[in-house]
């Protein structure tokens, strides 16, 4: 059970001993997009996964027991977005808890419209990231992420990218950008360029989804949940970017340099020698 792994990690100093090889190799087999990473990236990811498990608390809900394998599977995918970021796991320091349900969850929602009328409704969700709060995941969706990568779908990456977006307190589809991002001389200019590119891609995607749903046009490859808002489009795009880069690059070549510049700083631009 998961407690055994936590005790094992506690006995070993951070980074001195890698995760048990059997657990790690099983995770790589279950999620081929992790096994496809270069050896150096796999090694770094393994170390981050170990640190992540030592820092976070996993809680099973509705009878789900958190096993060592569940914890490693989730942690490895959660670490993908920060694999090459300078401050690494510090991006996730605003929360500790990860709640894992066996499957989808029926969430109760409430909002007040401009007229002051309160609306209540229910929504089926597979994951949720709360600002300065825990992350909720559906294990059913996490478990099949190796297969669903063909469709660019990954609930873990999706929710943890939301955490990056939330980092500066403004959830708008743009994470805090590093100084001098893509050669821009000021943070405001870099942010405007990011949002301009993201909104342009979102508008095209939303139009494609609308045509498919209303007029029988060709459905997009990317999860149409991304048409809900630019915030969700950013998270959905990042899912595909991390688990099926070739298909993402084919459909969103305009976003590839942007995401590479943020998630893989120093990576040569696509098509360069």
The rounded percent of the chain whose pLDDT value lies above 90 is 79
What is the per-residue pLDDT for 125? 76
Contacts of 177 (CB under 8 A, 6+ apart): 187, 190, 191, 194, 262
**Neighbour count for residue 130 (Cβ, 10 Å):** 16
Is the C-alpha dihedral spanning 74, 266, 246, 239 positive or negative? Answer: positive
CATH 1.10.472.150 residue ranges in the chain? 1-167
Q: Is 228 helix (H, G, I), strand (E, B) or coil?
A: coil
Instruction: Tell me if the pTM is above 0.75.
Output: yes
Number of separate helices (H) and strands (E) present in the chain: 12, 6
**Neighbour count for residue 217 (Cβ, 10 Å):** 13
The rounded percent of the chain whose pLDDT value lies above 70 is 86
CATH code for the part of the protein at 1-167: 1.10.472.150
Residues 86-98 have pLDDT tens digits of 999 999 999 999 9
Q: Is 121 helix (H, G, I), strand (E, B) or coil?
A: strand
């Amino acid at each position: 059970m998961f407690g055994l792994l936590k005790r094992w990690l506690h006995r070993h100093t951070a980074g001195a001993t890698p995760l048990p090889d059997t657990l790690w190799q099983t995770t790589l087999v279950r999620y081929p997009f992790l096994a496809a990473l270069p050896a150096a990236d796999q090694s770094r990811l393994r170390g981050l996964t170990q640190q992540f498990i030592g820092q976070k608390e996993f809680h099973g809900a509705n009878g789900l027991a958190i096993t060592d394998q569940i914890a490693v599977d989730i942690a490895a995918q959660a670490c993908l977005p920060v694999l090459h970021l300078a401050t690494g796991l510090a991006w996730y320091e605003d929360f500790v808890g990860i709640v894992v349900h066996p499957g989808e969850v029926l969430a109760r929602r409430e909002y007040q419209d401009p007229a002051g009328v309160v609306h209540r409704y229910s929504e089926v969700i597979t994951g949720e990231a709360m600002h300065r709060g825990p992350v909720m995941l559906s294990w059913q969706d996490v478990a099949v992420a190796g297969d669903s990568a063909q469709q660019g779908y990954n609930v873990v990456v999706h929710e943890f990218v939301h955490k990056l977006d939330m980092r500066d307190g403004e959830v708008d589809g743009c994470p805090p950008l590093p100084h001098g991002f893509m050669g821009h001389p000021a943070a405001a200019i870099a942010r405007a360029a990011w949002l301009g590119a993201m909104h342009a891609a979102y508008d095209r995607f939303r139009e494609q989804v609308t045509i498919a749903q209303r007029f029988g046009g060709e459905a997009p490859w990317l999860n149409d949940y991304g048409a809900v808002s630019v915030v969700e489009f950013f998270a959905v795009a990042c899912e595909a970017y991390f688990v099926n880069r070739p298909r993402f690059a084919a459909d969103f070549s305009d976003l590839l340099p942007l995401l590479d510049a943020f998630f893989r700083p120093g990576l040569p631009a696509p098509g360069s020698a």
